[in-house]
Structure formats: C-alpha cells, structure tokens
C-alpha cells in the first residue's frame, strides 16, 4: 500500500474516533459498524489489487500471432519443394513437422506476443 493511501486511511480512522468522542457512547454500535465497513472496504480493495498484480506477473496473456500461420503456409510451399528434392518424403515430413512445432509452440507459449507492451500498461 502506498504511503499516501496509508496516511489517508489513518486520517479517516482518526476523524472517526474524534467524532465518536464528541457524540458520546450512545452511538457506539453505529461507530463500530462504520469502522468495520471501512476496514472491509479497504481490505477488499487491497486484495483485488494484489490478485490483479499476481495474475499479470505470473501468467501474461497469451496471444497467437495469426500472421504466423499465414507465413508458415506461404513459406511451407517452397520449403516442401526443397525438402522433397533433397530429402524425399522424410525431408517433407521433417519440414512440416518443424513448421507444425513452431506453430504449436507459438500457440501454447505466446510466441510473438508483445509482453513488453503489457508490462508498460501496468
């Protein structure tokens, strides 16, 4: 929690305590309820902020660059010709296995995803 937030929360509690002293003990129940509600709100705000922080630092959003699929298909045609000429069927299988592995890796690991942009957005 930032120092300014702690100071503001502390000032709110001090003001509530002073108000309680000036009105007397007949408002104790209302005072306690107000303090509990304020603390609940502050705890919920802190928990939400921490959950958002942990979510974005542990697992950045994954994105699959669809352009990679198009480029893979476009480059796969000449690669198939070259692989077929030099390595026959085994060469073609190896070439397309590599293309498929690259696309699978991109889809599961977020290759091409701009993680720096996500960090700057936080």
pLDDT tens, residue by residue, 2-26? 566 667 777 877 887 787 777 777 7
| pTM for this entry | 0.41
Q: Which two tokens stand for residue 61?
A: 């959003």
Structural contact between residues 24 and 6, judged by C-beta atoms closer than 8 angstroms? no
User: pLDDT tens, 33-91?
Assistant: 877 888 888 888 888 888 887 766 655 455 667 788 889 989 999 999 998 898 888 98
How confident is the model at residue 3, as a pLDDT? 63
Cα–Cα distance measured from residue 2 to residue 8, given in angstroms and rounded to the nearest whole number: 10
Comparing CA positions, the residue from 3, 111, 115 lying closest to residue 59 is 115
Where are any strands of DSSP class E within 13-68? none
């Amino acid at each position: 929690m930032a120092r300014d937030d702690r100071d503001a929360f502390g000032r709110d509690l001090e003001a509530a305590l002073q108000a309680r002293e000036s009105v007397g003990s007949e408002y104790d129940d209302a005072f306690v309820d107000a303090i509990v509600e304020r603390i609940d709100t502050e705890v919920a705000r802190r928990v939400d902020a921490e959950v958002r922080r942990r979510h974005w630092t542990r697992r950045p959003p994954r994105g699959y660059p669809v352009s990679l699929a198009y480029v893979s298909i476009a480059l796969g045609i000449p690669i198939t010709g070259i692989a077929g000429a030099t390595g026959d069927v085994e060469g073609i299988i190896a070439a397309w296995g590599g293309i498929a592995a690259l696309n699978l890796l991109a889809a599961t690991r977020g290759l091409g995803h701009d993680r720096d942009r996500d960090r700057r957005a936080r």
